[in-house]
Chain A
Amino acid sequence: MSPSSSAEAVPGAVPAPDEHHEHHPSYLVDGTTVKSWLLTLDHKRIGVMYLIWVLLFFLIGGTYALVVRLELLTPGPTIIDAMTYNRAFTMHGVVMIFLFMIPAIPGAFGNFMLPLMLGAKDVAFPRLNLLSLYLLLIGAVIAIWGMINGGMDTGWTFYTPYSTHTTTTVAPILFGAFIIGFSSIATGLNFIVTTHTMRAPGITWFKMPLFVWAMYATACIQVLATPVLGLVLLLVVGEQLFHFGIFDPARGGDPVLFQHLFWFYSHPAVYIMVLPSFGVMSEIVAAFSRKNIFGYRAVAFSSLGIAFVGFFAWGHHMFVSGQSTFNAGVFAVLTMLVGVFTAIKVFNWVGTVYKGAVDFKTPFAYFCGFLYFTVFGGMTGVAFATASLDVPWHDTYFVVAHFHFIMVGATIMAFMAAIHYWFPKMFGKMYHEGWGLVSAALIILGFNATFIPQFLLGNAGMPRRYYEYPERFQTLNVASTAGASLLALGFIVSAIYLVYALVYGEKAAANPWNSKGYEWLTESPPPTHNFVGPQPIYTEEPHFYVDPQKAEEPHAV
């Protein structure tokens, strides 16, 4: 099939380019001044700016990670003192979670793709969209200012009463996270309203691409959970400055209440991080298996299911906080329900690949890594949800390895897959496929080499966040640090060939993957108002990959 055949497959979707002779510049060259970028209301430019910033934050967070790993090469002091180490792992967590994992896929790819996939000219509130980018940056600047001027040693969870008594600069970093929360709410609100009101004619709820479903579910969590985090962060700042005693047991306060309010946000926040990844992967698995997604409705509803159940699972962070056995049992079962919805997705992805004509390109390589990290990380999650198993593993490296597998592993796979899958659409250039596969292999291997030793370390009893450890843990720590170096090498390789492709890459066709997603029905890169001519009308489903020659009967949903 030629790239243009996809346009014919959806009658009326996009007028053929030669019907309109006037020139429609792509969004990349429509205005080239700095101001035209910084004050743009175009969702695509805002998406690209998000991409640039989250990559910078990823670099900062990754550098802290390498510092932590280098420090743990030897049992005693290696390169930094204990206080610097505490600050380093705290900032690694804060930067990676609040500045990379949460905004990365919704900010960069959600902003860019969601309106295209809905046949809309922009998101519902373009100014709010730009504002949310700048709120993210303001929050980041305040947090990084706090980091440079003193830093914070509480760990990213800011547990009270320690966080209200430590002498390090907690207030600006928490305030930064508070502002970043506003950014997250604004993005989520914008996406919900866009999905409700901006769908092109023909895009019913069950014709929305699965990435849109995932972004919608994510946005619901962002809107419903983040205000509670905002309040609790404000209260901790208040405690730090005025010692009201809300969370301070010495003054009659209750630190476990902090944990409840904190995890009421931060556990759903895990799904803010992974649900977009699930959406990306649903697009990619269909595109590179050349098959309609297996169980479209099940995949769509399971996103909402995860978003819903995610709000009732926070208590599993408090199995060892003196919670009653009954509570522990209830939260254990509710937590395991997340596994049921995730399994629905995993089985449907595998069902999609089954008997598909797999085109093993770089995004599909990341899909394979993703499937493995999700299943492995998810299964260890079910193990953690079992209260009796959580007790010995609590706050060991087993936790660290588990949440890196599911949160970081799955999200990084999806982020890299999304960059590679949508790179031609976003920038109109092709990258080198061979190097793409090489770096995917390096990253997947490096990730395993980093975190499988940490599973073993945690199981052997090494606690997380400790500066020194007994001699017998050294071999596995060295292995983990070696893995981290491999991981870093993988990212450096992909950075090099992607930047090279940006400058010297050959021009991409409108639909280089022969994909059926709606976003491929416009040019690469898209013009400023997304589609040339009138608003498109969609008649097909977004993942309609069934070959019409082979299947005469209506396709299964």
Chain B
Amino acid sequence: MQSNAAAPAHPAGVPPVPQVAAHFASLDVQQHAARLGMWLFLATEILLFAGLFVIYANYRFMFHDGFAAASRHLDLMLGTVNTIVLITSSFTAAMAVHYAKEAKNKMVVVMFVLTILMALGFLVIKYFEYSHKFHVGQLPGPYFSDPNPELQVAGVPMYYAIYFLSTGLHGFHVVIGMIVLGWITIKANRNEFSGRNYTAVELGSMYWHLVDLVWIFLFPMLYLI
């Protein structure tokens, strides 16, 4: 990964030979190190969200009725559509790795552009969900003002606090993922990837799978149960 940034733009059809950074013994070692580093980083991300899951479990236990009532007021339809969109985007991201290994940089660009568009679609749907909640006053903690009698149960404002914290943190990761994938798309557009050099595509794709994975936990936790 280190060496790629310095790789020059390559106009011809042949992808450039990857550079091995001076401190690595070989390209294999360099790619192994990059992969291991990414796995460790993803572990830290999962632990970050794990803290939120612990908080959710704790308050679900304390305010069972309030959480059940509030969860019924989420838009299950929009949540399901978003889940499908995100899982499909994870598929296109995986396909990008497949094409990068075959040095089909054009297809890598196509797949990542599709992924980014679906990420954008996810955020747009999220925006409609959020604005609806802002409109009816289903807001965290002291800002909660929905007069609906079904929601006048202890723990409902806490539920919305956790809802906005966890989906907000996830949305932030979506934005970061779009930036990362965009940067790799530019590199693919310069025809940089080949069977010997696809680490950046692989790692970017791994990050996107994490964003998807976290949502697969958040969706049942917030919408379904």
Report A's interface with B, CB cutoff 8 A: 120-128, 185, 189-190, 192-194, 196-198, 223-224, 226-228, 230-232, 235, 238, 242-246, 251-254, 257, 260-261, 529, 535
Which of B32, B43, B51 has the most chain A CB atoms inside 10 A of its CB?
A: B51
Residues of A within 8 A of B22 (CB): 121-122, 529
B7 CB → nearest A CB, Å = 15
Does B154 reach chain A (CB closer than 8 Å)?
Answer: yes
CA distance A252 to B24 in the complex (A): 54
Q: Which residues of B contact A251 (CB under 8 A)?
A: 141-142, 157-158
Residue of B nearest to A251 (CB): B141
**Main SS class of interface, B:** helix
Residues from chain A with a CB closer than 8 A to the CB of B155 are 252
- Whether B29 contacts A197 by the Cβ 8 Å rule is yes
Q: Does B217 make an interface contact (CB < 8 A)? A: no
Knowing A231-B51, A257-B55, the reply to whether A197 touches B141 (Cβ < 8 A) is no
Q: A228-B47, A257-B55 are in contact. Are A193 and B157 (CB under 8 A)?
A: no
Instruction: Check B2 against A125 for contact (C-beta < 8 Å).
Output: yes
Task: Report B28-57 CB contacts with A as 1/0, cut-off 8 Å.
Answer: 010011001100110111011011101100
With an 8 A cutoff between CB atoms, is B63 at the interface?
A: yes
Q: Which residues of B contact A196 (CB under 8 A)?
A: 32-33, 36
CA distance A254 to B143 in the complex (A): 19
Chain A residues positioned under 8 Å from B24 (CB to CB): 124, 198
CA distance in complex: A374, B41 (Å)? 33
Closest to B51 in A: A231
Contact residues in A for B23 (Cβ distance below 8 Å): 120-124, 126, 198, 529
For the complex, give the distance between the alpha carbons of A257 and B158 in Å: 14
Q: Which residues of A are found within 8 Å of B157, using beta-carbon distances?
A: 245, 251-252
Shortest beta-carbon distance, A218 to chain B, in Å?
A: 14
Residues of B within 8 A of A529 (CB): 22-23
- 6 A-B pairs in the complex with CB atoms less than 8 angstroms apart: A197-B36, A198-B23, A198-B24, A244-B161, A252-B157, A260-B54
B77 on the A face (CB < 8 A): no
- Separation in Å of the A125 CB from the closest CB of chain B? 6
Q: When chains A and B are docked, how far (Å) is the Cα of A226 from the Cα of B157?
A: 28
Tell whether, in the assembled complex, residue B48 and residue A257 are in contact, meaning their CB atoms are under 8 Å apart.
no
The 3 closest A-B pairs by CB, nearest first: A231-B51, A122-B23, A121-B23
Which residues of the partner chain A approach B221 to less than 8 Å between Cβ atoms?
Answer: none
Q: A120-B23, A125-B2, A529-B22 are in contact. Are A244 and B165 (CB under 8 A)?
A: yes
CB distance from B93 to the nearest CB of A (A): 23
State whether B58 touches A245 (Cβ < 8 A): no
How far in angstroms is the closest Cβ of chain A from B79? 22
Shortest distance in angstroms between B173's beta carbon and chain A's nearest beta carbon?
13
Candidates B45, B62, B141; contact of A227 at CB < 8 Å? B45
- The one of A126, A192, A231 in contact with B40, judged by C-beta atoms closer than 8 angstroms, is A192
B contact residues around A246 at 8 Å (CB): 55, 158, 161-162, 165
Q: How far is the CA of A394 from the CA of B63 in the complex (A)?
A: 32
B37–A252 contact, CB under 8 A? Answer: no
Task: Point out the residue from B29, B44, B50, B142 that lies within 8 Å of A226, measured CB to CB.
Answer: B44
Query: Which B residues between 183 and 213 are near A, CB-CB below 8 angstroms?
Result: none
Chain A contact surface mostly: helix
Tell me the nearest residue of chain A to B143, going by C-beta: A242
List the B side residues contacting A232 at CB < 8 Å: 51
Residue B25 lies at the interface, judged by CB distance under 8 Å to chain A: yes
A192 touches B36 (CB 8 A): yes
Taking CB atoms, residues of chain B closer than 8 Å to A224 are: 43-44, 47
Whole-angstrom distance from the CB of B193 to the nearest CB of chain A?
A: 20
What's the Cα separation between A113 and B9 when bound, in Å? 37
Given A193-B37, A251-B142, also A227-B55 (CB < 8 A): no
A244 to B33, CA, bound (A): 41
Q: Are A223 and B36 in contact, with the CB atoms below 8 A?
A: no
Given A228-B47, A245-B142, A251-B141, decide whether A261 and B54 contact each other with a Cβ distance below 8 A: yes
Interface size on B, as a range, is: 35 or more
Where the two chains meet, the residues of B that have a C-beta atom closer than 8 Å to any C-beta of A are 2, 22-25, 29, 32-33, 36-37, 40-41, 43-45, 47-48, 50-52, 54-55, 58-59, 62-63, 140-143, 154-155, 157-158, 161-162, 165
Contacts of A192 in B (CB 8 A): 36, 40
B58 touches A257 (CB 8 A): yes
Bound Cα distance A260, B45 (Å): 19
> Which A residues are CB-close (under 8 A) to B161?
244-246
Is B165 in contact with A223, judged by CB distance below 8 angstroms?
Answer: no
- Given known A-B contacts A192-B36, A197-B33, A223 and B48 have beta carbons under 8 A apart: no
Q: Indicate if the CB atoms of B58 and A228 lie closer than 8 Å.
A: no
Given contacts A121-B22, A126-B23, A196-B36, whether A244 and B51 have CB atoms under 8 Å apart is no
* Smallest Cβ-Cβ distance to A200: which chain B residue: B25
A141 to B49, CA, bound (A): 27
Are A223 and B40 in contact, CB atoms less than 8 angstroms apart? yes
The chain B residue sitting closest to A124, CB to CB, is: B33
Q: How far is the CB of B187 from chain A (nearest CB, A)?
A: 17
Residues of B contacting A257 with CB < 8 Å? 54-55, 58
Assuming the A-B contacts A227-B44, A251-B158, are A243 and B52 also in contact, with contact meaning beta carbons closer than 8 angstroms in the complex? no
Shortest Cβ distance from A115 into B: residue: B23
Cβ–Cβ contact B51 & A228, under 8 A: yes
Asked whether A189 lies within 8 Å of B50 as measured between CB atoms, the reply is: no
Looking at the assembled complex, report how far the CB atom of A289 sits from the nearest CB atom of chain B, in whole angstroms.
34
Name which of B25, B41, B55 has the most chain A CB atoms within 10 A of its CB.
B55
Residue in B33, B36, B141 whose beta carbon sits within 8 Å of that of A243 in the complex: B141
Question: In the assembly, what is the distance between CA of A197 and CA of B40, in Å?
Answer: 14
Kindly provide the distance from the CB of B104 to the nearest chain A CB, expressed in whole angstroms: 29
> Roughly how many angstroms separate A252 CA and B62 CA in the complex, as a whole number?
9
Given contact pairs A121-B23, A257-B54, enumerate 18 new A-B contacts (beta carbons under 8 Å).
Answer: A127-B2, A189-B37, A190-B37, A193-B33, A197-B29, A197-B33, A197-B36, A227-B45, A227-B51, A231-B51, A242-B141, A244-B161, A245-B141, A245-B158, A251-B142, A252-B154, A252-B158, A529-B23
A residues near B62, Cβ cutoff 8 Å: 252, 254
Q: With A228-B48, A251-B158 as given contacts, are A535 and B140 in contact (CB-CB < 8 Å)?
A: no
- A127-B2, A197-B32 given; A253·B44 CB < 8 A: no
Complex: how many Å from CA A197 to CA B34?
Answer: 10
Q: With A193-B37, A228-B50, A243-B142 in contact, do A223 and B44 touch (Cβ < 8 Å)? A: yes
Bound-complex Cα distance A253 to B154 (A):
11
Closest to A228 in B: B51
Question: Nearest B residue to A248 by beta-carbon distance?
Answer: B141
Among B37, B44, B141, B162, contact of A125 (Cβ-Cβ < 8 Å): B37
* Residue from A193, A198, A238 within 8 A of B165 (CB atoms): A238
With A244-B141, A245-B141, A254-B58 as contacts: A227 and B40 at CB distance below 8 Å: no
CA distance A120 to B36 in the complex (A): 17
Query: Bound state CA distance, A529 and B24, in angstroms?
Result: 12
CA distance A245 to B140 in the complex (A): 9
B23, B36, B48, B62 — most chain A CB neighbours (10 Å): B23
